[in-house]
Amino acid sequence: MPAPRDTAVVVRAARLYYEQGRSQTEIAHELDLSRSNVSRILSQAKERGIVEITIHDPDGPPRRDEALEAALRAAFSLREAHVVSAPRAPAMESVAREGAAVLAQRVATVRSIGVSWGQTVQSVVAELETLRPRPTPAVLPLVGGHSTLDQFDSGESVLRVLASRLGATPRTLYAPAVLESATAVATLRGESSIGEVLAAAAQVELALVGIGSLGRHSSPLVLGLMRLSEAERAAFAAQNPVGDVCGRFVDADGVPLGAPTDQRVLALTFSQLLRIPEVVGVAAGPEKAPGVLGVLRSGVIDTVVVDVDLAREVLART
């Protein structure tokens, strides 16, 4: 075979084979070549970079978008940004797998981990393999519990599943995350068994939190549990809330909101979250962009894990 073949012939053979699914015998007949020549031409197409073969493993790690990651880091002064997608996999699954990979990378170097609740956090923990790091890190709740917000179908809480994957015994907060009364929250915080756990949680070296957006997923459920009066709902709406983390809401500029919602949550405060060495925030789906943008502007997130569509929508709104 003359070498190299004319580019037009190589491209024609490659299109027939890779795009139209024609056999080498059929291509040989159409191009008036021998079958062995067609085989060499197809090899040459790969060698010359005319054909590139990419293998998409649905069970492999999600693909990362470095350009979007750099843009997020620059826009929000983040330590790390992980922007992922995977072929034929939902956004939540891609984010969960990448979030689990980030968590697995960190656990060997930290002595304590705090965890919130929510669908995305639960998905991350579900993807985490059993690791058994040594020494075993302490595992603590950043918020109180609630069966609707932090339980797997098995009935196990996110906190307990995470601890079991790390071979740890969790510190449990035996109190609900959201209450109907600010007085009840203050009373529970005064209980030594609860206050001590929250104080310990404020000292963790790594936190895994879900980023919520007003009206999406767990966010409306959190508000519903507060049983706000009509006047309180009006006061809340007047603060222009957009997103939340650990049940605490922020406005579009990232400013944490005060009463009435801030007083109904049994969780670390924004000030405490800001003092944790690394807070990893996870979210999936472009519909969560308003909330994610507000929370990123608050400065509480150090490392973010999101899907490609969500990252694009967040950046489009900046």
Instruction: Give the tens place of pLDDT for each residue, 138-171.
Output: 999 999 876 556 556 555 789 999 999 999 999 9
Write the single-letter amino acid at 124.
V
pLDDT digits (tens, 9 = 90+) for 68-117: 999 999 999 999 999 998 776 789 999 999 999 999 999 989 999 999 98
CATH 1.10.10.60 residue spans of the chain: 7-48
CA torsion 280→252→176→274, rounded to 10°?
A: 40
Strand intervals (E) in the chain? 63-64, 80-85, 112-115, 138-141, 206-213, 241-245, 248-251, 278-282, 303-307
Contact (CB, 8 A) for 176 and 157: no
Q: What is the rounded distance in angstroms from the CA atom of residue 48 to the CA atom of residue 42?
A: 10
Contact (CB, 8 A) for 96 and 127: yes
Classify 7-48 by CATH class: mainly alpha
CATH 3.40.50.1360 residue spans of the chain: 63-316
Classify 63-316 by CATH class: alpha beta
Task: Give percent above pLDDT 90 in the chain.
Answer: 61
Reading the chain (318 residues) residue by residue, the pLDDT tens digits are 444 568 888 989 888 988 787 888 889 988 989 888 888 898 888 888 888 876 555 555 678 999 999 999 999 999 999 999 877 678 999 999 999 999 999 998 999 999 998 889 999 999 999 988 889 999 999 998 765 565 565 557 899 999 999 999 999 888 888 888 899 999 999 999 999 999 999 999 999 999 999 888 777 878 888 888 999 999 999 999 999 999 899 999 999 999 999 999 999 999 999 999 999 999 999 999 999 999 999 999 999 999 999 999 999 999
Angle between helices 192-201 and 182-190 (to 10 degrees): 90
Q: Model's pTM, two decimal places? A: 0.79
> Residue 1: what pLDDT?
40
Max CA distance (Å), the chain: 88
Contact (CB, 8 A) for 114 and 207: yes
pLDDT digits (tens, 9 = 90+) for 164-180: 999 999 998 888 888 88
> Residue 102: what pLDDT?
96
SS3 70: helix
